[in-house]
Amino acid sequence: MEGMVGVKIPPGEDQAEITRSMRDLPPAHYTFKIENFSLLSNSKVGNIESGDFEVGSYKWRLCLHPNGNKKSNGDGHISLYLVFSKANAPLIGLEVNVDFKLFVYNQTQDKYLTIQDANGRVRRFHGMKTKLGFDQLLPLTLFNDESKGYLIDDCCIFGAEIFVIKHTGKGECFSLMKQPVNGRLTRRIPNFSALQQISCKYEFSAGGHKWALVVYPKGNSSEKGKSLSIYLFLEDREAFSSGRTMYAEFTLRVRDQLFGQHFEKKANCHFSNSIKNWGHLEFMSLDELNTPAKGFLVNNTVEVEAEIHFMTVVKELSGGGPIIGVKT
């Protein structure tokens, strides 16, 4: 049957395992150009290897069988392999996992035939297997036909692109915690009308983090003398790694000490190194707060409250890989 861009798929080759496609970009890591190819193919040389090239902290080579690797079902084809160079330390009891592509340049189309394992298959190099690739890269009848574009003026070009998969051991466990322990803080502010301080700060710990409820009794910024201002601060945000955020849903509340009709506002925020707090500049008017019949100011005392409903929790994993869950 005919494959990509006129490449005849070798009979017997499992097409579920190998894919072929054309692309414009040259190989990212190595190019192997061969001149006077006919002299090579007519000689008794079974295979040739390129020089070493380094990718992913390892040294590699390309190994070409111009008349096919007859020991591995490559007769009548070009065979091309990626080789783990002997210049590396021996792979004794170790494996190097690699996702790689091999290339043949089509000089007529100015494109690269790309051959790779299908379905994201990863190859494993180890002490007993240091040479992996494709026995039937291209049929020789197609490759030697100058009209096909792979061998022109007795010159051909191969290439390689390699991604070494290294396990770093880094990872994190992400969860959403519901109603964290000690996630509700209630504080009484006595002598409210006589307070001289600009703000009152009440610290607490919940969900493994340090928080603070900050109240401006006479209002903050443009709302001074007009509104009560309340904010929730994440106090230990400096410990976050770059780009880390922590999401929280919470309620800020002034308690009605007479009738239980509390005044509250819900909020949510992605806390980070740059976003340290979230709340309300105009939480409630001071006129409403100071009205005795409302029940918010009793015996010159105001009760304020912060309640965290949900928050994200992230822990480092030694084994790597994402784990996502919900804690209730």
Same domain, 38 and 65: yes
Q: What is the extent of the structural domain holding 242?
A: 172-317
Q: Which of 148, 165, 182 is the last residue of a domain?
A: 165
Same domain, 230 and 160: no
pTM of the model: 0.64
Give φ, ψ of 194 to 5 degrees: -100, 0
Same domain, 146 and 52: yes
Q: Which of 150, 165, 180 is the last residue of a domain?
A: 165
- Quote the number of domains for the chain: 2
pLDDT of residue 239: 72
Two tokens, residue 261: 């009709």
Same domain, 160 and 219: no
- Tell me the pLDDT tens digit for each residue of 204-234: 999 989 999 999 999 999 999 999 999 999 9
CA–CA separation, 104 and 111 (whole Å): 9
Is residue 178 situated within a structural domain?
yes
CA–CA separation, 177 and 119 (whole Å): 37
Is residue 23 situated within a structural domain?
yes
pLDDT of residue 4: 47
Q: Which amino acid is at 322?
A: P
Same domain, 63 and 157: yes
CA–CA separation, 4 and 13 (whole Å): 15
Same domain, 139 and 261: no
Same domain, 159 and 185: no
Q: Position of tokens 């798929």?
A: 9
Is residue 327 situated within a structural domain?
no
Same domain, 27 and 136: yes
Is residue 295 situated within a structural domain?
yes
Residues in the chain: 328
Decide: 270 and 247 in contact? Cβ < 8 Å. yes
Same domain, 27 and 54: yes
pLDDT of residue 319: 54
DSSP label at residue 183: -
Q: Which of 165, 199, 232 is the last residue of a domain?
A: 165
CA–CA separation, 244 and 174 (whole Å): 12
Residue segments in the chain with a per-residue pLDDT below the cut of 70:
1-16, 241-242, 318-328
Same domain, 187 and 146: no
Two tokens, residue 279: 């709340």
pLDDT of residue 91: 83
CATH for 281: 2.60.210.10
- Tell me the pLDDT tens digit for each residue of 12-22: 444 448 999 99
